[in-house]
Structure 1
Amino acid sequence: MTKVVADRAEAQQDGLTFGNPIGCHYHWLEPDRIDGYGDSVRRLAGKVELAVDGFERTAHLSEEVFAGEAADTLRDRAARRHEESAAVRDNLRGLGRAINAYSDALRRYREGLEQLRAYAVSAGLEIRDQRIWPPVETIAGDTPQKEVDAWERDWKAYQACFEAKVELRDARRAATRDLARALAEHAGVHPDKDKAKLVARNAHQVRFGELQREAAEEAMEAVQANDAADTARHTVEALKRREQAALGDLEEMVLAERPPEEIQAQAAKVQALHRELTEARVEARDAEAVAEREVAQADRAARNLEAAEEGRTRVVGERADLPQGPRTAAQPADLKDRLG
């Protein structure tokens, strides 16, 4: 039979391990409340906008209205204040958008948990204490085939619930990382590669304790690689739209029987866009591959750090095989056989 051994760092996050009850209760902040926070930040950005306009008008006072050394000093100071207040306004707007996006992510997370619970109910799994409970671990080898089939269906339904919960959890964590990145940007912090800490840009200093350098650097590289992959995808989408628009123009020119030189020029434009799109798709695939590789390295560094902090050795999947032979009536079915 198969000995089921799960990697705790892989499968157990937030107490989630295959074979244990799956929580389907939403216990985070209400999304509407978080939306209220984001709206408040954006309203504050609107008030800062008034200061931006005031400093801008002061910085551009004409010599005819106000001249002299005092006027020049006032205009210089107003120009500096304009730049500072504009930066604050932009940061507040970005932070407000990030908070609103996080509330949307939590709203999707809550809806996903409700759908998960509904699916578990429809599949006939046991729901108790806002948790989806797994079927019994093993059944006797002489159990009737009808009961064995039902038992396997229940386990496959439980596996689908487990995988859905992992996807929901990962999506929520990605949204949390985006919000943390927006908060760091608003605070003006950036990772200092020469020191194993984070320092701030504007004469502020933020210390995050004794971080493991490798895990921090791998995490930042993963974020940068994902950003590069997103940019490449957006470039591909933009080129696709431009190519379709150029093709439409070419078709209209042919139907309108425009001069051959105009049609030829438009066809050359379409060909150039197509070549550019082909190259962009190759670059996007490369960026996706790099992002996947960087995320895997960051996950591995984080798991090693977690294991070191807890003073344990990571456990990997291992298989304890008995001598092969026909299954007897007393030998129960195993988890590997029924889940494939």
Structure 2
Amino acid sequence: MTKVTVDRIEVQQDGLRFGDPIGCGYHWTEPDEIDAYGDSVRRLAGKVELAVDGFERTASISEEVFAGEAADTLRDRAAKRHEESAAVRDNLRGLGRAINAYSDVLRRHREGLEQLRDHAVSAGLEVRGNQIWPPIETLPGDSTQQQADAWEADWKAYQACFETKISLRDARRASTKDLVKALADYAGVHPDKDKQKLVAAGGQQVKFGELRREAAEEAMEAVQANDAADAARSTVDALKQREQRALGELEDLANADAPADQIKAQADKVAAVHRELAEARVEAREAEATAQREQAQANRAARNLEAAEEGRPRIVAEGQPMPQASSQPVNLKDRLG
């Protein structure tokens, strides 16, 4: 027997080595399904565009059309919502494009595997099902030159199939990484980090003391933030009353034909109170936003404690625990191939 030694090419991750059977069957999600999902995401971005336009028009209402405290508040809120909705629109568009691009990669991958199988058949290699089998490793010592040449040609054909398979696999994996990066960039999702922070669901494995302490601290911070917001609103109300009184006194002085210096002094007082009121309104809005944020965190901590006590699973994302509907974490790699 004559044995020819072939250098084995180590291929990381899936363990495929030169001399192994080469799989050429497509078992990932159908590209059309991925493409349809990307289209739906982009259509959703188009619907968000309507909200972007509406908030922009509301934020740009002129003082001549709508004036006063209510108008200012409406314009401020519309401007913030415009920024938020525009960011959502852009993120949805980017994510939809990334998903559509991934569907194209899967489609090329499927076509490449089909072409690989056809090439192996045309080259005379053994193909069983969706696997291309390597030629025999040894030849009898009494083989003819014709048999040796055919055996060498089979191995060269197998090598070409192997290299094509590696190229197809690497291209698909690179595109999968690009899609995961797009998820992180556009949706704020970090699958790897989330998976590492999975918290066990068993009640005996959850440190209830820490959860109770966290819930108590978050509740106290929410109470303090709400008290600060109430105080800020009270300050605004008091300044509004002072401003109204000052304006009334200014109007009385003007109607009574008071000296100009008195009228000017009162007008300066009105202006000073108005500036103070404007600053107080800004502080009140910030305090209100802080109170809402602290209340949301307190509610989340309370839900986490309740879920742990009932033995429901939790998954921690971006440093904040959130309830999870299923006890099994979603594996993005399984979903996308």
**Alignment TM class, shorter chain as reference:** 0.5 to 0.7
Q: Which residue is equivalent to 2:196?
A: 208
Q: Structure 2: how far apart are the matches of 1:2 and 1:138? A: 6
Q: Match for residue 157 of structure 2?
A: 157
1:50 and 1:29 map into 2 onto residues whose CA distance is 32
Shift of 1:24: 0.7
Q: State the 1:15 CA deviation.
A: 4.3
Q: What is the Cα deviation at residue 139 of structure 1? A: 1.0
Q: Which residue identity lines up with residue 93 of structure 2 in the other structure?
A: R
Please give the residue correspondences for 1:148-297 in structure 2 after superposition, counting only pairs within 5 Å: 148-188=148-188, 206=194, 208-209=196-197
Q: Deviation string for 1:204-231 (max 9, x for gaps)?
A: xx46349xxxxxxxxxxxxxxxxxxxxx
Report the number of matched residues: 196
Q: Per-residue deviation at 1:138?
A: 1.2
Tell me, in whole angstroms, the C-alpha distance in 2 between the residues paired with 1:103 and 1:88: 22
Report 1:104-119 matches (<5 A).
Answer: 104-119=104-119
C-alpha contact (below 8 Å) 2:4/2:138 kept by paired residues: no
Q: Kindly state the Cα deviation for residue 14 of structure 1 after the two structures are TM-superposed.
A: 2.6
Offset from partner CA, 1:120-173 (integer Å, 9 cap, x none): 011000110211110001112331110000000000000000000000000001
Q: Hey, what does 1:16 align to over in structure 2?
A: 16
Measure the CA separation in 2 of the matches of 1:16 and 1:207: 26
Q: Supply the distance in 2 between the matched residues of 1:190 and 1:56 (Cα, whole angstroms).
A: 31
Relative distance call for 1:39 and 1:131 in structure 2 (3 A) is same
- The 5 A counterparts of 1:126-145 are 126-145=126-145
Counterpart amino acid of 1:138?
T
- Give distance in 1, aligned partners of 2:25 and 2:15: 14
Specify the alignment match of 2:212 in structure 1: none
TM-score normalised by the chain length of structure 2: 0.55
| C-alpha distance in 1 between matches for 2:183 and 2:97 | 11
Contact 2:183 2:189 in 1 (8 A): no
Counterpart position of 1:338: none
Aligned equivalent of 1:125: 125
Work out whether residues 183 and 190 of structure 2, in 8 Å CA contact, stay in contact via their aligned partners in 1: no
Report matched runs for 1:79-94 at 5 Å: 79-94=79-94
What amino acid does structure 1 have at the position aligned with 2:196? F
CA contact (8 A) 2:22 2:133 kept: yes
Deviations 1:71-122 (A, max 9, x none): 1111111111100100000000000000000000000000101110111011
Q: Partner residue of 2:252?
A: none
For the residues of structure 2 that align with 1:177 and 1:97, how far apart are their CA atoms?
15
Structure 1 position 189, deviation (Å): 5.4
3-state SS, counterpart of residue 136 of structure 1:
coil
Instruction: Determine the structure 2 residue equivalent to 1:31.
Output: 31
How far did 1:30 drift?
0.8
The one of the two structures with greater contact order (alpha-carbon pairs below 8 A, sep at least 6) is 1
- Name the CA distance, whole Å, in 2 between partners of 1:207 and 1:81: 32
Secondary structure of 1:11 counterpart: coil
Match of residue 62 from structure 2:
62
The percentage of aligned residue pairs carrying the same residue is 75
Unaligned runs of 5+ in 1: 192-196, 199-205, 211-340
In 2, distance between residues paired with 1:75 and 1:95? 30
Q: 1:190 to 1:36 in 2, by over 3 A?
A: closer
Larger radius of gyration: 2
Alpha-carbon shift at residue 13 of structure 1 (Å) = 3.6
Shift of 1:6: 3.9
For structure 2, the 5+ residue unaligned runs are 199-337
- The 1:175/1:77 distance shift into structure 2, 3 A limit, reads same
Please state whether the residue corresponding to 1:127 is helix, strand or coil. Answer: strand
Q: How far did 1:34 drift?
A: 0.7
Distance across 1 between alignment mates of 2:69 and 2:111: 63
Q: 2:132 aligns to what SS in structure 1?
A: strand
Equivalent position of 1:292 in the other structure: none
Q: Which amino acid aligns with 1:69?
A: E
- Post-superposition Cα deviations, 1:166-199, rounded to whole Å, max 9, x if no partner, equal 00000001110111011111232589xxxxx95x
Deviation by residue 1:28-55 (Cα, 9 ceiling, x = unmatched): 1111111110011001101111110111
Quote the offset at 1:67 in angstroms.
0.4
What SS does the aligned partner of 1:80 have?
Answer: helix
Q: CA deviation at 1:17?
A: 1.7
